[in-house]
Amino acid sequence: MAMPLDKLKKYFVIDKLVYHSVDLSLYMASAVIDGEEHYITDNKGQFLKSRNLVELQKLLQTVKAEETVLRHTSPYDEMIGGPEKGTTNALEVPLVDNKLY
């Protein structure tokens, strides 16, 4: 499910802001609101994405979240032909906006 950034900014506080490390130097963002995760889009409906994490943080600086994390999911098991697992191998690291922009 997707949510425009303008609509997301109207929330006082969201549960979790997730920066996804999708590929080498490619990041996307999602927001968890009431237990549902929504990928964030721009006003044209395009997913927010950037090759620079700080640039994405700048776009989302006005979004207030109780928790902010960087999430990375490894395709390693799939790449080596390992069996499908029932759980995810996602790694979530707490992230703070140091306002480097």
Q: Which of 31, 42, 36, 101 is nearest to 66 (CA)?
A: 31
Residue found under tokens 């490390």: 21
pTM of the model: 0.86
Q: Encode pLDDT of 5-37 as tens digits.
A: 999 999 999 999 999 999 888 999 999 999 999
Which CATH architecture best describes the domain 2-94? 2-Layer Sandwich (3.30)
Q: Encode pLDDT of 52-94 as tens digits.
A: 999 999 999 999 999 999 999 876 666 667 677 777 778 899 9
User: Using H for helix, E for strand and C for coil, what is the string for 16-65?
Assistant: EEEEEEEECCEEEEEEEECCEEEEEECCCCCECEECCHHHHHHHCCCCCE
pLDDT of residue 100: 86
Residue boundaries of the structural domains of the chain: 2-94
